[in-house]
Structure 1
Amino acid sequence: MLDVSGLVADYGAVRALDQVDLKVTRGSITAVLGANGAGKTTLLRTLSGLHRPREGSVSLDGKDITRLAPEDLVRLGVAHVPEGRGVIAELTVAENLRLGGLWRRDRRWLRTGAEEMYELFPPLADRRNQRAEALSGGERQMLAIGRALMSRPDLLLLDEPSLGLAPRVAARIVAVLRTLRAESGLTLLLVEQNAATALSVADRAVVLYLGRKVADDTADTLAADDRVRRAYLEV
């Protein structure tokens, strides 16, 4: 579904991604692992059009999307949940969800889609008329994911969904990811610093180190590889 070849991205004089290759199969969960500064967030920002690559190519279902704008990528079925639980604090839960689906101009989906999000994330249902600023960190993360899903994506890019969350809340979000893949066939590219969490849900994983890909294998194989875990992962 997603084919990344020779991707290079810079921030000024700093090379954040250096000749990264990546393939993501439709309907799979692929984890991107590595310590702080490995290039994980830059990879997602580049794939979602928020950061322009210096070199390389990205294709989605055979279509070159390397230099498309974020809004064009959303229309092609790519949604990005950035690190930091970015929701609009002044809007209610319901308004945030509605915002995620507005571009489709489908009034029926705005209603039914929101109800699907409430079923997927029950804590949001009780707070639908509350402003997002009143939500807990875990609830904000659920809302950020729910808002992205309102665009009905085929590919969801998730950046550190468990960061700063209590283990119980993080486990709930991981369970939702499994449900999304199993029931809707959604393809996920998941960035996580917590390798154990990511490998528990992923089918495949790649490991970045200082912008370079240093490992690429099934999640089970990497989870069992003590050399990779000791050298590159914080577990």
Structure 2
Amino acid sequence: MLEVSELVAAYGPVRALDGVDLSVERGSITAVLGVNGAGKTTLLRAISGLLPPKAGAIRLGGRDITREQPEDLVRLGIAHVPEGRGVIVELTVEENLRLGGLWRRDRAWLRTGLARMFELFPPLAQRRHQRAETLSGGERQMLAIGRALMSRPELLLLDEPSLGLAPRTAAQIVATLRTLREDTGLTLLLVEQNAATALSVADRAVVLNLGRKVADDDAARLAADDRVRRAYLEG
């Protein structure tokens, strides 16, 4: 579904990605792992159009999307949940969710989509009329994911969804991701600092280090590779 070839991205003179290759199968969960500064967030920003690449190519379903604008990529089926649980705190839970599906101009989907989000994330249903500023960190993360899902993406990019959350809340969100893949066939590209969490849900995993890909394998095999874990996933 997604093919990244020889991708180079930089912030000024600093090269954050240096010739990265990545392939994501339709209906799979692919984890991108590595310590801080490895280039994980930059990879998602490049795919979603927020950071134009310096070189390389990005293809979605065979279509070259390397130079597409972020809003056009949403229409092509990509949704990006950045790190930091960004929601509009002045709006209610329901208003945030409606905003995610607004561009589709599909009233029927707004109704069924809202019902689906409240089914996936029961705490949001209980707080649908509360302003987002009243939510806990875990609830804000649920809302950020739910808002992205309201655009009905085929590919969901998730940046550190468990960061800063209590273990139980993080586990609930990871379980929801697995449910989404199994029930809808949604394809997920998941960036996680917590390698154990990511590998528990992923089909495949890629490890980045200083902007380069250093490992790419079945998630279960990478989880069992002590050398990779010690060298690139700890510290």
TM range (shorter): over 0.9
SS at match of 1:8: strand
Query: d(CA) in 2 for partners of 1:105 and 1:170?
Result: 33
1:29 to 2:29 alignment: yes
The residue correspondences of 1:33-48 to structure 2 (distance < 5 A) are: 33-48=33-48
Query: d(CA) in 2 for partners of 1:13 and 1:73?
Result: 27
Counterpart of 1:105? Answer: 105
Q: Which runs of 4+ in 1 moved over 6 A?
A: none
Counterpart of 1:126? Answer: 126
Please state how far the C-alpha of 1:189 moved relative to its aligned partner. 0.1
1:229 to 2:202 alignment: no
Counterpart of 1:190? Answer: 190
Count of residue pairs the alignment pairs up: 235
Counterpart of 1:71? Answer: 71
Partner amino acid for 1:231? A
Q: Deviations over 1:64-121 (max 9, x none)?
A: 0001001000000000000000000000000000000000000111111011000000
Partner amino acid for 2:141? Q
Please state how far the C-alpha of 1:173 moved relative to its aligned partner. 0.2
CA RMSD of aligned residues (A): 0.6
Partner amino acid for 1:195? A
Query: d(CA) in 2 for partners of 1:99 and 1:58?
Result: 27
Query: d(CA) in 2 for partners of 1:26 and 1:229?
Result: 27
Query: d(CA) in 2 for partners of 1:67 and 1:133?
Result: 35
Percent of aligned positions that are identical: 81
Are the equivalent residues in 2 in contact too, given 1:9–1:55 (CA < 8 A)? yes
Counterpart of 1:135? Answer: 135
1:54 to 2:54 alignment: yes
SS at match of 1:146: helix
The two structures have a TM-score, normalised by structure 2, of 0.99
Q: Deviations over 1:36-88 (max 9, x none)?
A: 00000000000000000000000000000001001000000000000000000
Partner amino acid for 2:180? L
The two structures have a TM-score, normalised by structure 1, of 0.99
Please state how far the C-alpha of 1:234 moved relative to its aligned partner. 2.4
SS at match of 2:57: strand
Query: d(CA) in 2 for partners of 1:234 and 1:106?
Result: 45
Are the equivalent residues in 2 in contact too, given 1:193–1:234 (CA < 8 A)? no
Are the equivalent residues in 2 in contact too, given 1:29–1:201 (CA < 8 A)? yes
Partner amino acid for 2:31? A
Counterpart of 1:202? Answer: 202
Partner amino acid for 2:170? A
SS at match of 2:101: helix
Query: d(CA) in 2 for partners of 1:119 and 1:91?
Result: 20
Counterpart of 2:157? Answer: 157
Partner amino acid for 1:219? A
Unaligned stretches of 5+ residues in structure 2? none
Partner amino acid for 2:105? R
Query: d(CA) in 2 for partners of 1:220 and 1:90?
Result: 42
SS at match of 1:189: strand
Are the equivalent residues in 2 in contact too, given 1:35–1:209 (CA < 8 A)? yes
Are the equivalent residues in 2 in contact too, given 1:194–1:234 (CA < 8 A)? no
Q: Deviations over 1:184-224 (max 9, x none)?
A: 00000000000000000000000000000000000001000
SS at match of 2:113: helix
